[in-house]
Amino acid sequence: MKKALLLLLLIPAISNAQFKDILAKAAEKIAAATKTNSNLDIAAGLKEALNKGVTEQVSKLTKTDGFYKNEAVKILMPEELAKVDKTLRRMGMSKLADQGILALNRAAEDAVKEATPIFVTAIKDITITDAKSILLGSENAATLYLQSATTTPLYAKFSPVVQQSIGKVGADVIWTKIIKQYNTIPLVTKVNPDLTDYVTNKALDGVFKMITVEEKNIRTNINARTSDVLKRVFALQDKK
């Protein structure tokens, strides 16, 4: 702005109308640049918040008992197999049922460890256009946006990892034993669940649930805004 005024002083034969026009155009350029920088800041802040969610929360899921001892995301038997669990326990096979549940959670813990980079890549795709509405949205607006934009491709990439993890942790062997044992019981309807699909969906649910935890923390707890960009961006949310 100072340079623009200095340039004007060096031009003696300029009219008031021209002077006002030049000032107006300069002001428009400054406003446009400020708006662009602000939008870039908002997008950067949201991406940092989601990356923080992955780093602070999703990483916890990859540790031993990350799913199994976290009641918010622990994977239980599929609803349609509740009768399997109940029947096994009634017949004195509680240990086998418990092993089956543990195996599902171990598979999820192992799979999330391998798939975390997928979430990091997806976060980078948040656009500037969407950034402001996400910022001023609900306490989990960023997570919901990420979930709606990435669930389908994430499932496609995540499912093979889960399938591999099920074999890696021995969940396939345990569940083959469970299903075989259950299907030998007289008068029961035989079952053959798709464990890969079930664990994949539950693992994705757990990941997004934990990202939501961190997003909500950043939105409501000033002390959780650990960088300058997080402080600037979420201060705008506080004023809405």
- Return the closest-CA partner of residue 210 out of 161, 147, 166: 147
Average pLDDT, the chain: 79
Averaged over 77-99, what is the pLDDT? 84
**Overall average pLDDT of the 29-49 stretch:** 63
pTM of the shown model:
0.75
3-state secondary structure of 190: coil
CA geometry: angle 45, 70, 150, nearest 5 deg: 40
Give kind and range of the element (H or E) at residue 86: helix 82-90
Helices 16-53 & 228-238 angle (0-180, nearest 10): 110
Q: pLDDT, tens digit, for every residue of 204-213?
A: 999 999 989 9
> Length of the chain in residues, anyone?
240
Provide the pLDDT confidence category of residue 14 given band limits of 50, 70 and 90: low
Q: Could you report the per-residue pLDDT of 100-135, keeping only the tens digit for each?
A: 899 999 999 988 887 777 777 777 777 777 777 788
pLDDT of 8 > 50? The answer is no
**CA R_g for the chain:** 27
CA dist list (Å): 87 to 185, 187, 190, 195? 9, 12, 13, 19
